[in-house]
Amino acid sequence: MTAETSSRLQELSRISTFAFSETAFGGRIFSAHSPPQLSTSKRDQEIASGLPENLDALPQLDGFRLRGIEMTRLETFIDAAFAFAVTMMVIAAERVPDNIITLLAAFKNAPAFVAGIAVLGIFWRGHWKWSRRYGLEDGVSIFISWVLLVTILMYIYPLKALFGSMFYLLSDGRLGQTLGMRSVTQVRAILAIYATGFAAIAIEIVLLNLRAWRLREPLRLNARERFLTRADMTGWSIPATVGIIALVLALTLPADYLGWSGWIYSSLAVLVPVHKRFLRRRRRD
């Protein structure tokens, strides 16, 4: 075999190898020096395009770069729903007191009003923090937020009724108002409705944070932000779990122990601080 023939055979071999690479890998040639490029969906491209190039220049909250520092239309609408819910919790819902007797009677509902506002405020802050951190307005986030809005507007009625009844029982009729429940079935119903709303709102906030977690790549979350996102998912899972347990207790406990379906919420005063302490230890490690 001459040297010229050998050179031609080597050239044909290179051409054949090139053609095989083009066919097998869709026109892309892979080598150790040029790794394959991952495809990015249109959704991820849209989310990434809305972020500034230098995320470190954004304002920060607890070390989290706030991608949604400007209020979106979605957040504005959710805030309006919370404001309407607060309006429904006003001390004197029927009319403005026009004499001292009516005024004093209206203030009987003050503790229930404060307690209801506190619960709504906790849920509002959960959505506010999610909006500020991620600034998401994709279709899934909008859908979950709309479900949250509907749940809040339905939840306000059992929230006000249950707190009013609770303070009425604790104060021997001096505060709050009675619901006039005359059967165990009615008590079970109000406790079950409240637990369903409580758990549903917490689950919806978990889902919003889960959505942000799934979009962590286009959002360009760093290690600390990923840790805080996972922390919020587990944190909101606590009230969601307590709400589900309260629902089960409301439906299954004997009448003499039915009150535990309400008192179970007091466990949050222990579980939430324990969770925060655990997170602080993990962060130091």
Determine the pLDDT at residue 24.
Answer: 38
Crossing angle, helix 184-214 and helix 223-252, to 10 degrees?
Answer: 160
Determine the pLDDT at residue 95.
Answer: 60
Determine the pLDDT at residue 198.
Answer: 95
Determine the pLDDT at residue 10.
Answer: 53
Determine the pLDDT at residue 259.
Answer: 86
- Give every residue of the chain whose pLDDT is below 50, as ranges: 1, 3, 5, 8-9, 12, 15-39, 92
Determine the pLDDT at residue 225.
Answer: 94
Determine the pLDDT at residue 36.
Answer: 40
Nearest to 51 by CA among 217, 206, 223: 217
Q: Give me the residue spans of the domains in the chain.
A: 67-284
